[in-house]
Structure 1
Amino acid sequence: MKKALIIAGIIMLTVVMGIGGYGYYMYKSVQGTVDNKMHQPLEREKSEKRFEVVDIEQAEPLSFLLLGVDAQDSTRGRTDTIMVVTVNPADNSMKMLSIPRDTRTEIIGRGFDDKINHAFAFGGAEMTVNTVENFLDIPIDYYATVNMNGFKDIVDALGGVTVDNDFAFSSGGHQFNEGEIFLEGDQALAFARMRKQDTRGDFGRNDRQRQIVMAIIEEGAQFSSITRAGSILDALGDNVLTDVSFDNMVKIQEKYRSARHNMETIEITGSGTRIDNIYYLVVPEEERLRVSGELRTHLGLDEDSSSVAAVEEEEETANN
């Protein structure tokens, strides 16, 4: 029987869809879950940072914004996790950047500077996408949100994940030993959320979150048991929203899946400061430009080019 698509986890869903499956019924089940529960397009037709919508058929480099929301659903609250993933199939590579939630930047649509994770509370995924695009000067082609309960459910549906822990600590009623450890859903959530015992603060937590994400990718890519398919679909359908359509998921799986074998993590650094007695992470302009340039290069964009919106504004001014 022809193999069908099985969604193997939130990151797999948006970046490197896994093929497993056992026939037409499973294919239709996945399609129904995506189209009826998970698919939530943004109002905009395309990013203002691109002249044209990214062409998946031609395997053009593309980007995803992955958001972990600290609420019971994926449509409100603040984003505890903000990750940008760029994928370049030409060299089979991925880059993953975690943006610290306290990063101070302009909230697009509000007209003032604030913590970047407040954008979701103000205007949901659309405002967060626009804010991250402005901060990094790159197009965000697709987004996905998962609530923190969903994070736990997805790990459980996959049967758990394995990570390499840098140092021993306790959090959320769980003990995490140093070295390679196996995590079930509750443990994975506590592992990903801890920051107070880490001298690196948000940066250490970001590293642990990236480990969980990569573990989900690897576990999902190796997933082959039909007995877990229903649990995975339930976990995704109940907890994930994305603007990736089912048809595009199939195309992304075909064109981009091998890129998961070459993943590089990027860090963005800054200094903590208080403004009006509120803590922010302030990223120096040269650091922001460094990270922006690396991501733009990976996406095949000219590092010195202006945004599409700026170019269009210049053309309109010239015509007038």
Structure 2
Amino acid sequence: MAANTGDRRGEVREFLTSRRARLSPQQAGLAAFGDNRRVPGLRREEVAALAGVSIAYYTRLERGNLVGVSESVLNAIAGALHLDDAERDHLSDLARAANVTASTRSRAGTARTRVPAGIQQVLDAITDAPADVRNGRRDILASNRLARALYSEIHAETIRPPNVARFTFLNPRARDFFVDWHTAANDIVASLRIEAGRHPYDKPLSDLVGELSTRSDEFRTRWASHNVRHHTAGTKKMHHPIVGEIELAYQVLVLPGDVGMNLNVYTAEPDSPAQEALRFLASWADGHLPSGGNTLPLEVDQADEGSRTAKP
């Protein structure tokens, strides 16, 4: 298991091997002869044939060497392995990381910890829906009052900034808070896998994965599966200590600019019990939460070609 997100070859090897193992010859449209197959799923030579590359070349790729691989070959491999959109993007991220030179590795990307100036005002202007900003490590960097009330269990964590993954796997209260804890756990690991593919040299991310792998068997098992998934919309059902069970729809919006952050907004159906619960939660927050946000402004690094980067 490549727990270290910087283990690029290991990440590639385990991802491709796991995708090959889950695909049967029948699913791939191949005839299966006999039942004496010594490997689960497809053989390497079968993937190579389906992708239209030599066995030696595919073997090189599966051993973790994606240096110089073309987009057309990546697409052929993705098609042969029946990868979905998230898995295709992940494979492209792994290939992109493989071609990062030593001189640019330090600039290959790290999840930000400071949000752009003015974002807190935007969040505070959203008064009827919980909204917050998170980076790829799932640190909660800024929230409006209703989001702080909704996720009060996570904001009570002593490590700052509060981190959804750490709460999910290391805080026993998470299993009560998330009504479907197993789905929440699968989703958070799948999203961290995507982030690890995008930013394999992000040391805080590697440290987080190492901590969770060491302290949680549930995380370690899920991390080893190499599943990836996009989470841009859906529903979440939570059991809140103040309002009880509440189900909300969510939308994840990418903030403009190269800041690597997402805006998460949670909404309830009009005139629904969930909307009534949010109103009650807002009233509770007015009497129990301090005013002001929990955000730090993003500073501009003038040396970074004019792009916005975070200063710790």
Give the strand-richer structure, 1 or 2.
1
Q: TM-score, normalised by structure 1?
A: 0.25
Bigger relative contact order (CA 8 A; separation at least 6): 1
Work out which of the two has the higher radius of gyration on C-alpha atoms and give 1 or 2. Answer: 2
